[in-house]
Amino acid sequence: MMKPILATALLAFAFTSAADAQQLFTATLTGHAQLPGSTFVAPPAGAAGHYNVSGRFTGQEGRVEQLYTNVQATGLALPFPSQPLQGFSGIRSLGDGRFLVLTDNGFGSKANSSDVILMFNIIKPDWDTGRVAIEETVQLSDPNRKVPFPIMNEATPGRFLTGADFDPESIQPVGDTYWIGDEFGPWIIQVDNKGEVLQVLATDPGGILLRSPDNALALTPNPGAPLADDVVVFRSGGYEGMALAEDQATLYPLLEKPIWDSTANAPESIDGTPVLRMFELNAETAEWGDTTRYYPLESADHAIGDFNLIGGTRALIIERDSRQGDPREEWADNPAEFKRIYLIDLERTNEQGVLEKIAYIDLMDIQDPDGLAPRGTLNGTFNFPFVTIENVDLVDENTIVVANDNNYPFSIGRQEGHADDNELILLNVEEFLNAQ
């Protein structure tokens, strides 16, 4: 009877020791480019004239039609003419210096983003000039009525999807289609290369339905009533990351925040550590797998920003706090502290399925000996002090790309009083990528 107990104890000790021994590696800036926050695209052909303006519903007073009325702390004012390219909430390296980037839902919520059409883009940074070219824009639509709830443009010919329908946070190209992870449902959406919806999947691994308060099919309880049993995903806690296996057969959707544990009457944790659920989804059959892994957060108030596999079962995950601004400067009221990228391996978990954190880099301490960055470098050290850093992927065997979601026009992380731009950086992290 003693041997199994002892073996389990030793395994738990080994895992804890490994977790405590996370290795910190140096990151060196090798490229910097930025797309101005005030970058706009025209609404798609066939969209109603309503979409020539965006941001009408971002003020406390409700609808505002007069352009440039709702002034922000950044000095910018909404509504805007046309559609903002906005911030990037997911990225994949396509090779040849090109990247697939997913635009966020609009202005941050269902209530204020109904006049923003969802899209993804193909971009190509010029690392020599620091400029970013937009090669292709694909707007999302549902002409074949695959979405299982009424969309904002339900009765219109184009049936374009908006930020009131979905909050897209992660994207993976599979064949000639794209899989998108959403936060509102949380849903998994498959679209074709024209952005037309092929299918929308509810989150029900193992037949257990998980919904957020923003799910269009969830019943909202009366004041004082308990939540519905399946509303366990927190608002803005859906699929922030979603990795893809090398053979493109399996997707790994990862929640941004712990789900609600009704038994413990608290957010989910394992042995006192807050954890995020990572599921498996078969990209060929659209069926959920049986395995659930758990990503351990360093703090309960942290969230993840992106998740991509980089070879075999090894992967990168951004973990961040919700603070912004350079702590080396005095203007930030709540300066950034914790912005890291962790290396994990899907096969390295403890007996409870909790992933081991092998190593990390600190995005608040990036070496810039050649002064490549136009802003953010002090005494040879560059940082990435944005509230939402939501993009990471492998570029080559030594290099990763990282980018922020600038929450245009609200976030102020780089420069006092100025709306953040979309910054993309290349980091040489050879030792980190080879950490064991």
Residue 3 has pLDDT above 90, yes or no: no
Pick the closest to residue 139 from 194, 86, 188, 183 (CA basis): 194
d(CA 411, CA 256) in angstroms, rounded, equals: 19
Average pLDDT value for residue range 65-93: 95
- For the whole model, what pTM was predicted? 0.93
Q: How many residues does the chain have?
A: 436
Chain segment 271-325, per-residue pLDDT in tens: 999 999 999 999 999 999 999 999 999 999 999 999 999 999 999 999 999 999 9
Structural domain boundaries in the chain: 2-433
- pLDDT for 222 equals 78
- Under the banding of pLDDT at 50, 70 and 90, the label for residue 399 is very high
Q: What percent of the chain has pLDDT over 90?
A: 90
- pLDDT for 17 equals 39
d(CA 160, CA 141) in angstroms, rounded, equals: 4
Chain segment 123-149, per-residue pLDDT in tens: 999 999 999 999 999 999 999 999 999
**Residue written as tokens 């971002």?**
58
d(CA 59, CA 258) in angstroms, rounded, equals: 30
Angle at 142 between CA 136 and CA 143, to 5 degrees: 100
Q: What is the DSSP pairing of strand 314-320 with strand 339-345?
A: antiparallel
